[in-house]
Chains A and B, each alone.
Chain A
Amino acid sequence: MTALLQVQNVNIHYGDLQAIWDTSLDIPEDRIVSIIGANGAGKTTLLKAIAGALTPSSGKIIYRGREINGLKPHQILALGLSLVPEGRRIFPRLTVLENLLIGAYASKARRKRKQTLSSVYDLFPILAERANQLGTNLSGGEQQMLAIARSLMSDPEIILFDEVSLGLAPVVIKTIYQRLKEINRSGVTMVLVEQDIQRSLKTADYTFVMQKGQIVLQGMPGKLTEKEVKKAYFGI
């Protein structure tokens, strides 16, 4: 199994504060990998660094055999790596359709935007109905769908999801997870950062548990015992 994305011995600092300590992980192609951990464990920081929004102070991030740390977010996106940020980050003064079109801003994605748009509308029909409304007029669940759809518009090979279910109703979360599995089956590798341990373990092919800026446990969800996960998660 070849790794699509490799993080090797990465350290990340915010000023004098170290958030990530010597972290390494491999993301295999076509799989769903989850990263779980308590608040402040460094999950978001790690995703931001992979997407280029933060620069690691040391270590390597390798995507398809190419070192990408130091590249700008728009360069990394053009290589096929997309991040769905925490809190959805819908552009408030843009309509749903405009938000989606911004997702296809990179020139390669822009050429096939019509085709991508229709497949995205098939996946989330509500977005077609609401195309001309402002993105912020949607409900929380619909906004999350928009954020996922906007990321798909860039025609990515791998998507990093940061807290995709945070603050949403269980029935909405269920729908979104069904869609995520469909997207994965169409050949998109996924990294899910989640606080919802149960759902995360149920969906993922492989799981990493982070605590205080380090990976403390990893394995296939079926092989990890609840006791091990709890211990790693809470550090007790």
Chain B
Amino acid sequence: MEVFIQTLINGLLLGGIYAAVGIGLSMIFGIVRLVNLAHGDLMILSSYLILVITGSFGLNPYLSLAAVIPVMFIIGFIIQKYILNRVLGMGMEPPLIVAFGLSIILQNTLLLVFSPDAQSLETPLSIKSIPITETLSIPAIYFVGFLVGVAVILALQLFFQFTYLGRAIRAASDDDEAAQLMGINTGTTYAVAMGIAMITAAIAGALIGTTFTFFPHTGPTYLIISFGVVIIGGAGSMIGTLVGGFILGLAQLVGSHFFGSGYQLLFGYLILFIVLVIRPQGIFGRKERAA
């Protein structure tokens, strides 16, 4: 029984990390209606940037993250404004192909620069755990990840609800032309949205790097996790992303608890499949109006 409770705790904590991993994809999918296939690679790029700064200056990975956040914001802004905005409104495929190309370029650049070796970001927290009872404990690094994931989503929710820019992003997402007529430069607005999504990617990159190992081709693994979170929770919904993360994390670890760790991924996909059959727009997603 205690082992099972430990599994539930770990699943929930993992879910918080997954929410941080998925939120950037969810935001851009919900707002710009763009499937950013490079999202996973951009997270891994952040992990490598943190690795470089940590290595060069001997900083703690979390401190290095503070330097990587503005860099990723600028990268996101530029990618959207000068590359992806050019193909918006041309249908579904062109942005998809551009993002896919970006993904390939990123993976191979990382491979060239950093070699295929597995890396990880080390912190003193990595080996610590917080005891609850004699047999139950919380792994500290997962706990930090959980808190950060929840905080990121809360912060975004407040941003979209209460700031002028947040409202403008939602308006542009609702009706691009009307938003322009109301004085919103929607191209720049989307670029800022992507910049913010890349801030979440930087944070997720730090969580991935400190919790797991990564190498240049790890991006797609986390892209698929992001998709899982978004499909379960519903695209564009903040609370949905959090719940989607929890469900995916729990499903994976509970599955692995009963059937062995080989079945971890399978159980994640099983839940995904069930949600797709019962509620294709996701638990918190809005049904798209029929065109």
Interface residues of A (CB under 8 A from B): 51-53, 72-74, 77-78, 82-83, 85, 89, 91-94, 98-99, 101-103, 105-106, 109-110, 150, 154
Contacts and interface: CB of A to CB of B under 8 A. Distances in A.
A101 B167 contact: yes
Interface of B: 164, 167-168, 170-171, 173-175, 177-185
Contacts of B168: 102, 105
A73 B186 CA distance: 10
Q: Is the interface of B mostly helix, strand, loop or mixed?
A: helix
A105 B172 CA distance: 12
A74 B180 contact: yes
Given A53-B177, A89-B178, A77 B183 contact: yes
A96 to B, nearest CB: 13
23 contacts: A51-B181, A72-B185, A73-B180, A73-B183, A74-B180, A74-B183, A74-B184, A74-B185, A78-B183, A82-B181, A83-B181, A85-B178, A85-B181, A91-B178, A92-B174, A92-B175, A93-B170, A94-B167, A94-B174, A102-B171, A102-B179, A154-B182, A154-B183
Contacts of B183: 73-74, 77-78, 103, 105-106, 109, 154
Given A72-B185, A92-B174, A93-B174, A98 B167 contact: yes
The residue in B173, B174, B182 that gathers the most chain A C-beta atoms within 10 A of its C-beta is B182
Contacts of B179: 91, 102
Contact of A91 (B170, B180, B185): B170
Contacts of A99: 171
A35 to B, nearest CB: 18
Contacts of B173: 93
A91 B178 CA distance: 8
Contacts of B184: 74, 102, 105
Contacts of A92: 174-175
Contacts of B185: 72, 74
B188 to A, nearest CB: 9
A33 to B, nearest CB: 20
Contact of B175 (A82, A91, A110): A91
B109 to A, nearest CB: 34
Nearest to B184: A105
A85 B182 CA distance: 10
